[in-house]
Amino acid sequence: MMSPATESQAVQQRGRRGQTLVEFALTLPILLMLMFGVIEFARIFQAWITLQNAARAAARYAVTGQWDENILAEAMGYTFPEGLSVAERRQAVLDTLMPCTEGEDAAFLQHWGYDCQPGSVEDQWLRADVARIPSIVDRARIGASGLALKDGDHYVGLQYPDEDDIHTGTVTDSERGWFHVWICSSRPGVYSDTAARYKPSENRSNRLCQVQEPGMEGVNQYDPGGPGDAVEIVVFFNHPLITPLGLVDYIQLQARRVMINEAFRSTRVINIPPALALPTFTPSNTPQPSDTPTPTSSPTITNTPTPSPTATTTATVTPTPSPDCALITLDSVRLVDNSLEVRINNANQYGPVFISRVEVQWAKHPFFPGMYADDMRVSTRTRFWHGPDYEPPTMVDNTDPGWDDDAPTYFIRRFDANTITPLRIKFSNGPSRLADYFVPGVFDGTRLYFGTTWGGIGFDPVNDCLVELTGYPTPTPTYTPTASPTGFELTHTATFTPTPVCTNYEVNFVGFETNGVVHFTLRNTDIAVAYITGFSINWNTYNRPLDPITLDFVSVGGPGAFDPAAVKIWDPPDQVATRPAVGVSGGPGWLVDPVIEPGRTLDIWFDFDGTSERLDQIGYRDYDFNDTTFVVNFVCYGEGINVPTPAPTFTPSVTRTPTITLTPSKTLTPTITFTPSRTNTPTRTNTPGPVTWTFTPSRTPTYTNTPVRTPTHTPTLDTGGFE
């Protein structure tokens, strides 16, 4: 039996244990909250750091101008046809997302606010800029690896196949794991003179990048901008909480980056990019002026004698005053890339004017005899005239078949009131930079007429306003070759006869295209300008029973023979069935001498009729086009001798005729080996004339019955020298 003292001690020990349990129960929630708080804070900090990396990765990718056709196709749910090259895959998905045809392009019109012109380089750039959005978002997702992101994205303003945005997301912005990339740029107006096409919301959490251009105000549309524009990326993420604190289900995190787009393609004018509209902060207590005298009474004449039989007009209509021609002036003239830009200042307060006639005075440079006027447009709008016009001067109005009045809006010919608006006249098949060979004075005497009635329909020489380019120095066009041509020389007393460097021109047979097209390229690796003045193309069947074909036309440039960017250089009245088919500058069917500038490669397309397939699919081979030649006239520079002349001349005295010979050896063994041998065999002559490049692969077949063919192409180049 326990003594009273022992029993009391046991009771005290049980009491202390109970007290410890109570104290632990009271402090445990606090300890758990501290522990969970440390865990959640660490997770939030890690997510924030990762999100900053995602924004930085997306912005760095955006400024390069790149895009991935596979990511765009996945977002659209588009499946590529079999057998397409990378370039064809990119073009196919772009044509599906936002077609650009000669007809009305609904997707382009809905996104950019005007119809796409296939021949407009700017419009092709705009299409590519839209395609960049999914790739930028994908880079942000890659940069956010490690976060609990839900699948799917929302590409605001990117619409396919209907009017709804492409939305592949599985959760909304009020759920855990939601991930979103907001993209906005400082792009200027694309069809108006608006300083900035987009206005971002001051509170970026609203995720608004709204269009400000007339007719599209308020449209929310993400945009990565063009070269030189500022692009802003904001990445949103609903970071989920995992500890049972019961406070909130998630915390929304944001990361922001602003960068300037690189010059990933040539731009017309390099300007300092405008900054994005940043949030503005207004002080809550803004003092107002306290002493502002305000008239409290206005004297009123009460006794005004009025004859009794006075008719009172209850409504007065004040017509808008017609534009004053004295307020329509020339602001500036400059050469921008391959265009003449004339900036017109319409200082009228109300009335716009409309271009009604253009008379462009221009001259051909001897280095570019095939240069022609291509199109005219106001600012970056759709062209209101398209050529070509091969001979100066170019005088056009609405009687010209290439003129577009743009009724009933007349927007593409409008010069708004109280605005300086540029008019651009583009020249093709000439220098990529007019300023390297011309000065504004070459265009002295150019006249622009503006109609003052609404629309300015028709040319009215009496009432239309005239702006003329006068007073610009006109150089003396001696056209004397120099080692570094920078334009027309004003004075020159001596010249030299340049020596051609004929080995600096490379011809290459590229292959066969659909619709019976044969593709060649000619590359100018010299420092001088060249131009094609003739060709001779031969096609043999070597006694094989193949379907007959006829040559329809020859074009150069562009991504394909039928693309609007390609220029036809030879188009005879009738298709040519006899071979070889020969085209000569100035001869039947010849249209223009195409230019090959230094360092450039010119694509040459021969279109044959008789099949819609590739010629190799109906049995033709590359060696069937033996003895195809190109004639090149050009000016090139070498060790020249200063030769005094009585008058400025332009006389290359040395012509060399290299011949490129491709000799494939074809053996029908388990592996077909195609080994062309290219030999430059220059022949020096003392008679001025053209340079002829000959594509002459010879065929030496040896036949062995084998079931497998594996073609390989191993070119070897043997280049001869000149004395």
With bands split at pLDDT 50, 70 and 90, how would you rate the model's confidence at 539?
Answer: confident
With bands split at pLDDT 50, 70 and 90, how would you rate the model's confidence at 2?
Answer: low
Please indicate whether residue 52 or residue 308 has the higher confidence score (pLDDT). Answer: 52
Q: Which two tokens stand for residue 505?
A: 């021109």
With bands split at pLDDT 50, 70 and 90, how would you rate the model's confidence at 527?
Answer: low
Question: At residue 665, does pLDDT exceed 60?
Answer: no
Indicate whether 193 belongs to any domain: no
Q: Which of 90-99, 210-219, 334-343, 528-537 has the lowest mean pLDDT?
A: 528-537
With bands split at pLDDT 50, 70 and 90, how would you rate the model's confidence at 26?
Answer: confident
Average pLDDT, the chain: 77
pLDDT of the residue at 395: 95
Terminal alpha carbon distance of the chain = 131
Bridge pairing between strands 665-668 and 700-703: parallel
pLDDT of the residue at 185: 95
Same domain, yes or no: 532 and 615: yes
Q: Describe the crossing of helices 69-76 and 86-97 by its angle, rounded to 10 degrees.
A: 40
User: What number is the average pLDDT over the span 671-695?
Assistant: 41
Q: Which two tokens stand for residue 176?
A: 């855990």
pLDDT of the residue at 306: 45
Indicate whether 212 belongs to any domain: no
Distance CA 118, CA 106 (A): 14
With bands split at pLDDT 50, 70 and 90, how would you rate the model's confidence at 502?
Answer: low
Residues 599 and 670 sit within 8 Å (Cβ to Cβ):
no
Same domain, yes or no: 556 and 458: no
Q: Which two tokens stand for residue 675?
A: 């080994």
Name residue, tokens 């590739």: 614
Residue 446: closest CA among 467, 428, 422, 423? 467
pLDDT of the residue at 503: 65
Q: Which two tokens stand for residue 111?
A: 């996104």
With bands split at pLDDT 50, 70 and 90, how would you rate the model's confidence at 409?
Answer: confident
Q: How remote is the C-alpha of 529 from its chain's centroid?
A: 25
User: What number is the average pLDDT over the span 370-376?
Assistant: 92
Phi, psi of 44 (to 5 degrees): -65, -40
| Domain tally, the chain | 3
Same domain, yes or no: 679 and 550: yes
Indicate whether 3 belongs to any domain: no
Phi, psi of 101 (to 5 degrees): -130, 180
pLDDT of the residue at 246: 66
Same domain, yes or no: 353 and 456: yes
Question: At residue 60, does pLDDT exceed 90?
Answer: yes
Bridge pairing between strands 595-596 and 655-656: unpaired
Indicate whether 484 belongs to any domain: no
User: What number is the average pLDDT over the span 696-714?
Assistant: 42
SS3 221: coil
Tens-place pLDDT, residues 411-432: 999 999 988 899 999 999 888 8
With bands split at pLDDT 50, 70 and 90, how would you rate the model's confidence at 402?
Answer: very high
Indicate whether 648 belongs to any domain: no
Q: How far is CA 703 from CA 68, 100, 670, in A?
A: 44, 49, 11
User: What number is the average pLDDT over the span 657-686?
Assistant: 36
Bridge pairing between strands 530-537 and 628-634: antiparallel
Tens-place pLDDT, residues 266-315: 433 333 444 565 554 444 444 444 444 444 444 444 444 444 444 444 44
Tens-place pLDDT, residues 210-225: 999 988 999 999 999 9
List CB contacts of 72: < 8 A, sequence separation 6 or more: 78, 93, 94, 97, 131, 134, 135
Q: DSSP letter at 188?
A: P
Please indicate whether residue 122 or residue 498 has the higher confidence score (pLDDT). Answer: 122
Report the half-sphere exposure of 373 (CA within 13 A, side-chain side): 25
With bands split at pLDDT 50, 70 and 90, how would you rate the model's confidence at 169?
Answer: confident
pLDDT above 70 coverage of the chain, percent: 72
Same domain, yes or no: 546 and 668: yes
pLDDT of the residue at 319: 56
Rg of the chain over all Cα atoms, to the nearest angstrom? 36
Question: At residue 480, does pLDDT exceed 90?
Answer: no
pLDDT of the residue at 179: 95
Beta bridge partners of 694: 629
Same domain, yes or no: 616 and 671: yes
Report the half-sphere exposure of 312 (CA within 13 A, side-chain side): 4
Question: At residue 47, does pLDDT exceed 60?
Answer: yes
Same domain, yes or no: 385 and 521: no
Indicate whether 316 belongs to any domain: no
Residue 273: closest CA among 348, 198, 183? 198
Q: Which two tokens stand for residue 335?
A: 């050469």
Residue numbers of the domain that contains 429:
325-468
Q: DSSP letter at 217?
A: T
With bands split at pLDDT 50, 70 and 90, how would you rate the model's confidence at 558?
Answer: confident
SS3 694: strand
List strands edge to edge, sheet with 250-260.
179-185, 230-240, 250-260
Please indicate whether residue 631 or residue 257 has the higher confidence score (pLDDT). Answer: 257
Beta bridge partners of 550: 609
User: What number is the average pLDDT over the span 352-360?
Assistant: 95
List CB contacts of 556: < 8 A, sequence separation 6 or more: 532, 566, 567, 569, 594, 602, 603, 604, 605
Same domain, yes or no: 146 and 246: yes
End-of-domain residue from the set 252, 281, 311:
252
With bands split at pLDDT 50, 70 and 90, how would you rate the model's confidence at 683?
Answer: very low
Q: Which two tokens stand for residue 120?
A: 């407009």
Distance CA 391, CA 439 (A): 19
Q: Which of 5-14, 60-69, 296-305, 351-360 has the lowest mean pLDDT?
A: 296-305
Residues 549 and 501 sit within 8 Å (Cβ to Cβ):
no
Indicate whether 572 belongs to any domain: yes
Distance CA 417, CA 404 (A): 22
Q: How far is CA 12 from CA 1, 24, 26, 665, in A?
A: 18, 19, 21, 108
Q: How many Cβ atoms from other residues are within 10 Å of residue 310's Cβ?
A: 6
Residue 98: closest CA among 113, 109, 85? 109
Question: At residue 93, does pLDDT exceed 90?
Answer: yes
Distance CA 420, CA 332 (A): 10
Same domain, yes or no: 454 and 583: no
Instruction: Establish whether the linkage from the previous residue to 305 is cis, with ω within 30° of 0.
Output: no
Residues 473 and 445 sit within 8 Å (Cβ to Cβ):
no
Tens-place pLDDT, residues 612-663: 899 999 989 888 888 788 887 644 333 322 333 333 333 333 333 333 333 3
Report the half-sphere exposure of 579 (CA within 13 A, side-chain side): 17
pLDDT of the residue at 628: 83
User: What number is the average pLDDT over the span 498-518?
Assistant: 77
Name residue, tokens 């997306």: 58
With bands split at pLDDT 50, 70 and 90, how would you rate the model's confidence at 188?
Answer: very high
Residue 570: closest CA among 556, 549, 550? 556
The single-letter code of the amino acid at 381 is R
What does the chain come to in residues? 723
pLDDT of the residue at 336: 80
Question: At residue 360, does pLDDT exceed 90?
Answer: yes
86-95's contacts with Cβ under 8 Å and 24+ in sequence apart are 87/559, 91/559, 93/69, 93/131, 94/69, 94/127, 94/128, 94/131
Beta bridge partners of 377: 424
Q: Which two tokens stand for residue 169?
A: 């997301």
Question: At residue 54, does pLDDT exceed 70?
Answer: yes
List strands edge to edge, sheet with 601-609.
505-513, 517-524, 601-609, 550-556, 567-570
Same domain, yes or no: 340 and 430: yes
Residues 476 and 491 sit within 8 Å (Cβ to Cβ):
yes
Indicate whether 330 belongs to any domain: yes
User: What number is the average pLDDT over the span 445-472?
Assistant: 91
Bridge pairing between strands 447-451 and 465-468: antiparallel
pLDDT of the residue at 104: 84
Same domain, yes or no: 598 and 669: yes
Distance CA 138, CA 58 (A): 8
Question: At residue 599, does pLDDT exceed 90?
Answer: no
Residue 47 is inside which H or E element, if any?
Answer: helix 4-62
End-of-domain residue from the set 444, 468, 492:
468
Bridge pairing between strands 198-200 and 328-336: unpaired
Bridge pairing between strands 179-185 and 353-360: unpaired
Dihedral through CA 501, CA 505, CA 506, CA 510, nearest 10?
-170
Torsion sign over Cα 89, 95, 96, 97: positive
Same domain, yes or no: 244 and 345: no
User: What number is the average pLDDT over the span 167-189?
Assistant: 93
With bands split at pLDDT 50, 70 and 90, how would you rate the model's confidence at 528?
Answer: low
Q: How far is CA 471 from CA 101, 333, 436, 474, 478, in A?
A: 42, 11, 21, 9, 21
